A and B are shown apart, each in its own frame.
Chain A
């Protein structure tokens, strides 16, 4: 699905990613953990195509295509989805309207027919139920006046509507209470299939109790310094990130 090879990226001349190697295959869930400032959010930003970051070295292959060569919208149309850590409020633009535009732009890109009104409404009903999102929220302006939990559920609702191949959840657990966390995780789990993959970026292990990863990677100082199975997350939680830091100092 995605092959990240020796990825280096910097912002304002400062190197943040210092050679990331990662391969995610269809059907897999990968967790990327790491202390603050390790480059977790930079990685998701670079993959989604945020312009502020400059890729200085390396490559990213997404479903056989050179991802770094695509505009942010084409990455989305090819099936990449980023659930934002801080979803943006967009006054005046309705959630529904914007999603319909997004779906139709994606369909046009893939040479598919636009979605019919009936089909679209059916999707909205089904997918909003998945994350227990009030249908009233679906009709409101994008994220405007939403609570923190509603914003994150709205991210997963959008993910469900767009049915991406690869979803990157950037600290989706941050700021969520346990109920919202459970709802969001349930939504993600229900969307899981052998044909798609998920990268869960998180600081804490608790989200991984709900979204169980096949692989866990530890990002530190712009590099993946440790990889393992789900037990690595538990070990990290017990020993804390200082364990990783001290190990890497020794290296």
Chain B
């Protein structure tokens, strides 16, 4: 009897849940499909998009943020109507996945988040008949998601889908930063009408703005007194196209927003975001005074006690020049507070050691972004070096004068020497004279520091920019032809300066090599051998680390081999770091040797034609479709690439066709120049390609393509080894 009762309760419970669900589903169906408006009822495709695979006729996204003091609610929905114009579109849209409801614990203190998703799918046939899918019957649960194969879908159908998410969050901290949203308004299909809305209640702060020609955000009335709603409406959005060397978030219509929940004034202070004056009022811009107000309290210089180790090191090294003090301090800190721990990270990532393993030191200082700035400020203060705090944003985010999101900010320090020194971040190969290339040339805010006083004034400035004379890659290649001209033996010396150096150090330096070198330099020890006497288990870890390093080194060598960009099969690859120059401003020098078995030598009678242009590596080929350009060109940095190729001419042959290797296109945007000559028994080819600037206007593209084309043409050139 008891059994029976229990099962009845269980059945009842399930039934009522299922009814509740379907009631909610019906309510949502009525919300999304019930009241047709003009934009929601369109089924015609504009003539200009008749040849598209699919067109989004209607798209509405909505995000709402409310709370009851205990729980934060952030329901959202996405409602789209897509007309499928060919079979490829039917294929793509016929399978639909969505995440199951989730309940997630967030840290301790009983914090959690809940997410419930309800989906509605309707198919509208060309004759106007509509079918609403029975989602419960059609969906299949698979691990964390539901999958639906949408039945009855054909070319010409309109697929009408809504995804409604109810999110709850309980956090006792009284503060919560929702992830910032940065959305391009164009997607892979054209959109006839789209709308995006954000509704926030008091206790929430909203930063929201549209950019790059996107329509203005407007306020809409809401049903509730305590909330405000901000929306954006766009009509006739063409599908997105991304040309080469392009920053979409600077050029294409985009909307950005972030919502922050901050219950009390104290929480507002620690929210880690730029908050508006009034809750629920949209903040569209973070102004210069606000930047100061936000960062000034966060960047008090560290005390002498905190930086005493560095001071001691500088004193011991006898460094007195102020600039050199900062440079040497950076390299010291790079090791002591960063690189020294990388080996342990590698060990943990590869499960060589358990998560309980710790470094020997008890007072480990690992400098994150914030701490790095306050630490270096503290040092500058002790060394009496004038400095400013720098607030910047990467070039691909837009200008700092249009700042909206805290997550888009990069900050660092400017030490005001005659030629200022900028420190922005601590990374394994941070170089004193170079800061991240994406910040170069951008506008910045500098917050000045008066001697022994707190942060004082803020002003607008601009970061310096490196030139093609700073960022230089030089490849010296010596080629020995095999008897059949097909196989070749290659020896290359590579030199990288400027931003190339930082990129290549990260790519080509093996962690074990530079960590051991730094340990020797600074007298530190590996985490598995840092105690007075190495324990048996630490010895085991050491053996495992050596074994892991050997395996990873092998993998890295394979990667280097694949990186030789000649479009030819490479074998017998070997490499050597000649000079890493990690503590100086000198170039990073690297050498590699390899063999090419099939060099694509073509036989012409008793002569051989060789595609010698390949030896400078693959060159950019500008396709037919990208000849005309309406958007600016954005490169990572201005640069120079030089190639020097020496080929030993086999006896009994002479080289013909050298004249084709002499090329020269030079203009204000850059250049490609090449020459070839015979010296003794060697053919010597040199090329130089300069990208003169980091950024170009669309009208300069035409000039750029001239030398880009010339470089590509060179890469296709051939010479003949003619039998004497």
Q: Do A and B come from one complex?
A: no
User: Using a CB–CB distance below 8 Å, which chain B residues touch chain A?
Assistant: none
User: Using a CB–CB distance below 8 Å, which chain A residues touch chain B?
Assistant: none
